[in-house]
Amino acid sequence: MMLAHPFGSVAVWLVSFVLLSCTPTPETGTDVKDIAASAEVSAEEIQVALVMKTLTNPFFVQMEVGARRAEKEFGIELLVKTASQETSIQQQIDIVERLIDDRVDAIVIAPGDSIELIPALARAQKAGITVVNIDNKLDAQFAKRNDMKTVPFISVDNEASAYEVTKYLTAQISKPTQAVVIEGIEEAQNSQDRKNGALRAFAESNRVDVVMTKSAHWKIDEAYKVAKEMFEQYPGIGAVFCANDMMALGVLEFLSQTERSNVLVVSYDALEDAKRAVLTGELVATVDQKPGEQGYLGVRTALDMLKGEPVEDVLLIDAVLVTKETLTR
């Protein structure tokens, strides 16, 4: 997959159009009400739970906005549940367990970890609850070992989009320099994919030497500390890839405080603070992975499954490269 790049035609994932063409988008909640009627319940009695990592990251606030749009459009009840932090995996597990006890109809989950949530989600499936996976992909092999049925996955191609934003960075490097990668939770598939995409792009440049990769667990404060450690060890660092904007903001704070204005930084998520940093030149570029669309499509896919309609195993949304040029055009 290629990012929707502002400077020319690119390859586009067609799978999203396949799903949209196979599944009509209702203008009201009528279709869901018809399904609910067949089960002798009203649409308002259909409960879909959106389980996210946290609301301290604006990315997940936008994901809820998209899910709320689906709630209004289809006339169902949306329950939004989050852990306190992106690293609070046990809290997410506990949330899933409570939703099983509450007998919700479906769980749409952005898991903080690709493995640890699987046993609880397998129990949810066995209890008759529909499960949809968004944002961070569950580990397919571990899911199979836990006797999970296929779970639809909705996200972007994290490896490809991280590659594209890092290629945009390396195109601006004119002399040999050192680079580092700051990744998210190491056990999360989206973090691994973004790291791999960035490393692939750096490896293709004969001017870049990657000297360190380290996790900052998606957090601003931790990324600040990681950046401090990296620059103390390698003062010549000239390029940084951060696997999300929150960590990039921590890095930018460190660079500002230490008056390092010649370091190129790219990141991922297109939060408002990150876009402002792109406009000021502090951040070279970021990636918009459309969290609102992920939330909306997650709920809609769950409803299609409740209707017994076929859905795609994988639905990849087009990510968009966000640069100063795209923000000012």
Q: What is the pLDDT of residues 32-81, one digit of tens each?
A: 444 444 444 456 689 999 999 888 899 999 999 999 999 999 999 999 99
With CA atoms as reference, report the closest residue to 247 among 220, 280, 225, 279.
220
Task: Check whether residue 284 and residue 297 sit in a common domain.
Answer: no
Total tally of structural domains belonging to the chain: 2
Q: 174 exposed, middle or buried (CB, 10 Å; 0-12, 13-18, 19+)?
A: exposed
Task: Check whether residue 208 and residue 303 sit in a common domain.
Answer: no
Task: Check whether residue 119 and residue 219 sit in a common domain.
Answer: no
**Structure tokens belonging to residue 324:** 């100063």
Residue 297 lies in a domain: yes
Q: For the segment 88-110, what is each residue's pLDDT rounded down to a tens digit?
A: 899 999 999 999 999 999 999 99
Distance CA 278, CA 284 (A): 6
Range of the domain at 217: 158-288
Residue 128 has pLDDT above 80, yes or no: yes
Task: Check whether residue 297 and residue 149 sit in a common domain.
Answer: yes
Task: Check whether residue 193 and residue 245 sit in a common domain.
Answer: yes
Task: Check whether residue 223 and residue 280 sit in a common domain.
Answer: yes
Q: For the segment 181-213, what is each residue's pLDDT rounded down to a tens digit?
A: 999 999 999 999 999 999 999 999 999 999 999
Lowest-confidence range among 27-31, 149-153, 244-248, 316-320? 27-31
Task: Check whether residue 152 and residue 298 sit in a common domain.
Answer: yes
In three-state secondary structure terms, 81 is: strand
Q: What is the pLDDT of residue 19?
A: 35
Task: Check whether residue 152 and residue 206 sit in a common domain.
Answer: no
Task: Check whether residue 173 and residue 235 sit in a common domain.
Answer: yes
Residue 315 has pLDDT above 60, yes or no: yes
74: left (phi over 0), alpha (psi -120 to 50) or beta: alpha
* Average pLDDT, integer, range 231-248: 98
Q: What is the pLDDT of residue 174?
A: 94
- 85 pLDDT band (50/70/90 cuts)? confident
Task: Check whether residue 96 and residue 80 sit in a common domain.
Answer: yes
Task: Check whether residue 183 and residue 299 sit in a common domain.
Answer: no
Q: What is the pLDDT of residue 35?
A: 44
pTM: 0.84
Residue 16 has pLDDT above 90, yes or no: no
Q: What is the pLDDT of residue 45?
A: 87
Which residues fall within 8 angstroms of residue 24, CB to CB, at 6 or more apart?
A: 31
CATH value at residue 259: 3.40.50.2300
Residue 2 lies in a domain: no
Residue 248 lies in a domain: yes
**Structure tokens belonging to residue 297:** 């499509």
Task: Check whether residue 59 and residue 129 sit in a common domain.
Answer: yes
